[in-house]
């Protein structure tokens, strides 16, 4: 029960400011592993990064919080027996430093890889800071040039691997949920890499740089809930109890990561937290009735 409560608390928490003391596991190494099909975990203990492979090259999703995080991802890819030079595309869930701060390092070390970022988040990636009024400030990160800026339902195909980008803004202006389909021991599975839905310090009332933020969140709740999903692979470990699932897998459970009901619970928890935060911000706004 303690593990469940801790996980829920983290999952609904705001983004931790850059110099907080409780994010050391964001760059703490962990042994990489295959999850399902052609999907591998190559992140740190606390922050996810994913390698999606194909016979004609590979895709890396998310880049860690810094150059150190990018290097960690590179070591994990190599330790699995894959070559960095075979990575064809770098993609991202959203333009916060903890998931995009290492993209510049990855791009520098894999110069032939193309960086694909949603049009809404591309300015933040290229300018090197989060865009949108947020109580944590701009949370700077290393800037990097975007090779392809895309819109909703963009398809990314490398070899036999196909990913689809679903724009689910709110957490950031261009927050992107990625989906793909894999086969695990003859069983087809729909996999979703959800962009975060947490408020994460965002200003919901009077946000001058993301004026439609409330409507964006609400549309994203509905949109993500409608995505058929068997496997949920979030960007923070605690959002999906990934360490616990990995231990179940090591104990012989072939379905440790398979749960067709998980994405709905994921969305429900964030939507409830959003509504409560919105109500508090509305009550505290200057125009609120006293």
Beta-sheet strand order (sheet of 39-41) = 33-36, 39-41, 50-52, 58-61, 87-91, 114-118, 148-150
Query: How buried is 272 (Cβ within 10 angstroms: 0-12 exposed, 13-18 middle, 19+ buried)?
Result: exposed
Whole-number pLDDT of residue 289: 56
Which helix or strand (DSSP H or E) is residue 41 part of?
Answer: strand 39-41
- Position 140 scores a pLDDT of 96
What pLDDT score does 288 carry? 61
DSSP strand pairing (114-118 vs 87-91):
parallel
Residues 46, 30: Cα–Cα separation, whole Å: 9
The stretch 48-58 carries a mean pLDDT of 98
- Over residues 193-243, the pLDDT tens digits come to 999 999 999 999 999 999 999 999 999 999 999 999 999 999 999 999 999
Pairwise pLDDT comparison (290 vs 91), residue with the higher score:
91
| Overall average pLDDT of the 131-150 stretch | 95
CA pseudo-torsion sign 255, 30, 75, 108: positive
Contacts of 19 (CB under 8 A, 6+ apart): none
Report H helices in the chain: 2-11, 67-79, 97-100, 103-109, 122-127, 213-225, 242-250, 262-284
Residue 175: which pLDDT band, with cuts at 50, 70 and 90? very high
Instruction: For domain 25-284, give the fold.
Output: Metallo-beta-lactamase; Chain A (3.60.15)
Strands (DSSP E) contained in 148-213 are: 148-150, 155-158, 161-167, 176-184, 187-193
Please tell me the distance from the alpha carbon of residue 173 to that of residue 94, in angstroms, as a whole number: 8
Q: Where are the domains of the chain?
A: 25-284
Split at pLDDT 50, 70, 90, the class of 5 is: very low
pLDDT band at residue 9 using 50, 70 and 90 as cut-offs: very low
Q: Which pLDDT band holds residue 246 (cuts at 50, 70, 90)?
A: very high
Q: What are the structure tokens assigned to 107, written together?
A: 């791009």
pLDDT > 80? residue 123: yes
Contacts of 42 (CB under 8 A, 6+ apart): 32, 49, 50, 51, 60, 73, 76, 77, 80
pTM above 0.75, yes or no: yes
The whole-chain average pLDDT of the chain stands at 92
Nearest-angstrom CA–CA distance, 272 and 232:
19
pLDDT at 8: 35
């Amino acid at each position: 029960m303690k593990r469940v409560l801790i996980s829920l608390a983290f999952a609904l928490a705001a983004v931790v400011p850059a110099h907080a003391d409780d994010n050391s596991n964001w760059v703490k190494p962990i042994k990489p592993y295959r999850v399902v099909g052609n999907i591998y975990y190559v992140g740190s203990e606390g922050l996810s990064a994913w390698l999606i492979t194909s016979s004609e090259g590979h895709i890396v999703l998310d880049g860690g919080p810094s150059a150190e995080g990018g290097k960690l991802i590179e070591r994990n890819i190599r330790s699995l027996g894959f070559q960095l030079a075979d990575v064809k595309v770098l993609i991202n869930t959203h333009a916060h430093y903890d998931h995009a701060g290492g993209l510049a390092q990855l791009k520098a070390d894999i110069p032939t890889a193309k960086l694909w970022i949603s049009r809404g988040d591309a300015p933040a990636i290229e300018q090197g800071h989060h865009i949108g009024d947020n109580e944590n400030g701009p949370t700077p990160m290393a800037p990097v040039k975007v090779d392809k800026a895309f819109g909703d339902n963009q398809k990314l195909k490398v070899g036999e691997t196909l990913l689809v980008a679903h724009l689910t803004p709110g957490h950031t202006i261009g927050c992107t949920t990625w989906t793909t389909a894999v086969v695990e021991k003859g069983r087809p599975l729909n996999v979703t890499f959800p962009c975060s839905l947490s408020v994460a310090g965002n200003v919901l009332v009077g946000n001058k740089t993301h004026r439609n933020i409330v409507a964006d969140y609400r549309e994203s709740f509905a949109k993500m809930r409608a995505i058929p999903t068997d496997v949920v692979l979030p960007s923070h470990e605690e959002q999906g109890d990934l360490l616990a699932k990995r231990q179940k897998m090591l104990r012989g459970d072939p379905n440790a990561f398979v749960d067709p009901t998980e994405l709905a619970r994921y969305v429900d928890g964030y939507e409830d937290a959003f509504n409560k935060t919105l109500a508090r911000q509305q009550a505290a706004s200057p125009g609120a009735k006293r």
